[in-house]
Structure 1
Amino acid sequence: MTALTVADATLPPMAFRLPEGMHAIEVSLDPEERADAARRLVRDLYPQGEEPLWNTMGSLYSAMADELLADGVAFFGIGLYEIEDGGGVAHCALTIAVHERGDADPDVVAEGTRAALLSDPLREVSWLDLPCGPAVYGITFRKLVVDGAYTTSGRDEDLVMGQIQVHIPFPADPCTAVITLDTASVEQWEEFSHALADIIGSVEFPQREVTH
Structure 2
Amino acid sequence: MDNAEEVQVLGVEGIALPPMTIRLPEGMHAIEVSLDETERTEAVARLVRDIYPRGEESLWEAMSAVYSATAQEMSSAGVSFFGIGLYDIGDGGVAHCSLTVAVFESGETDQDVVAQGIFAIHSPDPLRDVTWLDLPCGPAVSLISFRKLIVDGEYTKSGNDEELTMGQIQVHVPFSTGPYTVVITLDTASLAQWDEFTHAIAGIVGSLEFPVSPAQSGQLG
Q: TM-score, normalised by structure 2?
A: 0.90
1:193 lines up with 2:198 in the alignment: yes
Summarize the alignment of residues 66-81 of structure 1 with structure 2, pairs less than 5 Å apart: 66-81=72-87
Q: Which runs of 5+ in 2 are unaligned?
A: 217-221
In structure 2, the partner of 1:129 is 134
Q: TM-score, normalised by structure 1?
A: 0.94
Q: Which runs of 5+ in 1 are unaligned?
A: none
Matches of 1:54 and 1:205, distance apart in 2? 35
Where 1:154 maps in the other structure, the secondary structure is: coil
Question: What is the root-mean-square deviation of aligned Cα atoms in Å?
Answer: 1.4
In structure 1, the partner of 2:70 is 64
1:164 lines up with 2:184 in the alignment: no
Indicate which of 39, 50, 69 corresponds to 1:44: 50
In structure 1, the partner of 2:10 is 6
Q: Is the 8 A contact 2:149 2:163 kept in 1?
A: yes
In structure 2, the partner of 1:177 is 182
Matches of 2:46 and 2:87, distance apart in 1? 18
**Which amino acid counterpart does residue 30 of structure 1 have in structure 2?**
D
Deviation per residue, 1:165-209 (Å, 9 max, x gap): 000000120000000001111111111111111111110111234
Matches of 1:206 and 1:44, distance apart in 2? 30
Identical positions, percent: 62
Q: Is the 8 A contact 2:177 2:212 kept in 1?
A: no
Matches of 1:47 and 1:155, distance apart in 2? 30
- How many residues align? The count is 210
Matches of 1:54 and 1:78, distance apart in 2? 16
Matches of 2:56 and 2:71, distance apart in 1? 22
